[in-house]
């Protein structure tokens, strides 16, 4: 029985999972993009042969996405998924050439990452009251870890007690692609981490002993829980539009660069594979310098 277009997706996803070690979230996105494209080609052009896919078919699908108001950023992500898929097929000898070779990605206007002002973060930790119970202690520590380390939400949730390095006052983080990085932390945060672990040992005998952060029921955190608590507390101190765990990652990076941190060091702390991904934070620094110049220079 001849293979259909959809039959080619599974081996590619296995490659991304086991060789490239992409995250589950990324795998789901790739699968969704590829299925949507191939189902469109099958229905509109009645084509089910991988070798017969033409650039015109891809362009037709992209035009359809644009017509229903998909953003350029969203379309670019789908183009990236398709480019990776067809590159894999060429590499494995299934195709001689990728139909994506002549596909041009739409331009995307650069958006500066939002971040929380330092004074607002100071207000959060110095003046906002947290509940005097286990949940309050957990929520405060979640916020402190996110802001003080810049780790991703998934990295926070999977953080284990064994990743806390008390001797060197650092935490070991397992990031994307299972790459480990070391993030130094302040003595204050290390003290909070040790207190939390000690309190968990003393009062939560049945709690998850593997994961660092647990809820009142002793089970590890989950994404919606972390998102909701971050949104709740940031809403008390800032009026920025986005209030998510990733905003605290942006805040961490922006505050570092605003205070003169070396960009390569920030790259390593964030776990970026490319310096280009980190350079966006220099724009925030430049904007701050412009603001200072406008306010202070007599000829501004």
Average pLDDT, the chain: 92
Q: Which of 91, 106, 126 is the last residue of a domain?
A: 91
Q: How confident is the model at residue 179 (pLDDT cuts 50, 70, 90)?
A: confident
* Position 216 in a domain: yes
Q: Are residues 81 and 167 in the same domain?
A: no
Same domain, 56 and 161: no
The span from the CA of 37 to the CA of 83, in Å, is 12
Task: Go through 20-53 and write b for each residue having 16 or more CB atoms within 10 A of its CB, e for each that does not.
Answer: eebbeeebebbbebbeebbebbeeeeebbebeeb
Residue 133 falls inside a structural domain: yes
Neighbouring CB atoms inside 10 A of 281's CB total: 25
pLDDT tens-digit map of 253-282: 999 998 888 889 999 999 998 888 888 888
Active-site residues, by number, are 152, 176, 246, 249, 272, 281
Whether 108 is in a domain gets the answer no
Note whether 149 and 80 are same-domain residues: no
Residue 271 counted as domain residue: yes
Question: Does the residue 264 lie in any domain?
Answer: yes
Whether residue 101 is contained in a domain is answered as no
Predicted local confidence at residue 23, as pLDDT: 86
Total domain count, the chain: 2
Based on the fold, state whether residues 252 and 291 are members of the same structural domain. yes
State whether 57 and 128 are in the same domain.
no
Per-residue confidence band for 1, with pLDDT thresholds at 50, 70 and 90 = very low
Q: Give me the sheet containing 164-165, strands edge to edge.
A: 164-165, 170-174, 180-184
| CA separation for the pair 186, 252 (Å, rounded) | 14
The two three-digit tokens of residue 209, written as one number: 């002993």
Q: Is the confidence at residue 87, as pLDDT, over 80?
A: yes
- Residue 112 belongs to a domain: no
* Ranges 29-43, 96-110, 203-217, 286-300: which has the least confidence: 286-300
Percent of the chain with pLDDT over 70: 97
Which domain, by its residues, includes 193?
118-296
Question: What pLDDT sits at residue 297?
Answer: 63
Same-domain status, 289 and 149: yes
Whether residue 292 lies inside any domain: the answer is yes
138 and 85 belong to one structural domain = no
Residues 78-88, mean pLDDT to the nearest whole number: 96
CATH number, domain with residue 232: 1.10.443.10
Q: The domain that contains 47 carries what CATH number?
A: 1.10.150.130
In this predicted structure, which of 136-150, 165-179, 214-228 has the lowest mean pLDDT? 165-179
Q: Does residue 86 share a domain with residue 179?
A: no
């Amino acid at each position: 029985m001849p293979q259909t277009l959809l039959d080619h997706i599974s081996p590619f996803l296995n490659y991304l999972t086991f060789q490239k070690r992409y995250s589950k979230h990324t795998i789901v996105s790739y699968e969704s993009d590829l299925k949507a494209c191939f189902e469109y080609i099958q229905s509109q052009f009645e084509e089910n042969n991988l070798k017969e896919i033409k650039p015109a078919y891809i362009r037709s699908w992209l035009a359809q996405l644009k017509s229903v108001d998909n953003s350029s950023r969203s379309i670019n992500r789908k183009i990236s998924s398709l480019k990776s898929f067809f590159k894999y097929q060429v590499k494995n000898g299934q195709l001689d050439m990728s139909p994506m070779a002549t596909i041009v990605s739409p331009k995307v206007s650069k958006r500066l990452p939002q971040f929380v002002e330092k004074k607002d973060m100071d207000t959060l930790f110095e003046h906002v009251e947290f509940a005097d119970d286990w949940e309050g202690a957990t929520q405060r520590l979640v916020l402190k870890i996110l802001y003080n380390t810049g780790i991703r939400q998934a990295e926070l949730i999977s953080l284990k007690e064994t990743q806390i390095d008390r001797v060197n006052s650092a935490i070991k983080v397992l990031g994307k692609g299972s790459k480990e990085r070391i993030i130094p932390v302040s003595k204050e945060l290390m003290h909070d981490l040790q207190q939390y672990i000690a309190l968990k040992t003393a009062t939560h005998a049945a709690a998850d002993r593997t994961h660092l952060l647990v809820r009142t029921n002793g089970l590890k955190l989950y994404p919606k829980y972390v998102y909701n608590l971050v949104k709740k507390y940031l809403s008390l101190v800032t009026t920025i539009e986005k209030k998510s765990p990733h905003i605290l990652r942006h805040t961490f990076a922006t505050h570092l660069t605003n205070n003169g941190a070396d960009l390569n060091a920030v790259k390593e702390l964030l776990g970026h594979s490319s310096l280009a991904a980190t350079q966006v934070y220099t724009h925030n620094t430049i904007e701050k310098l412009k603001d200072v110049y406008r306010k202070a220079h007599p000829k501004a």
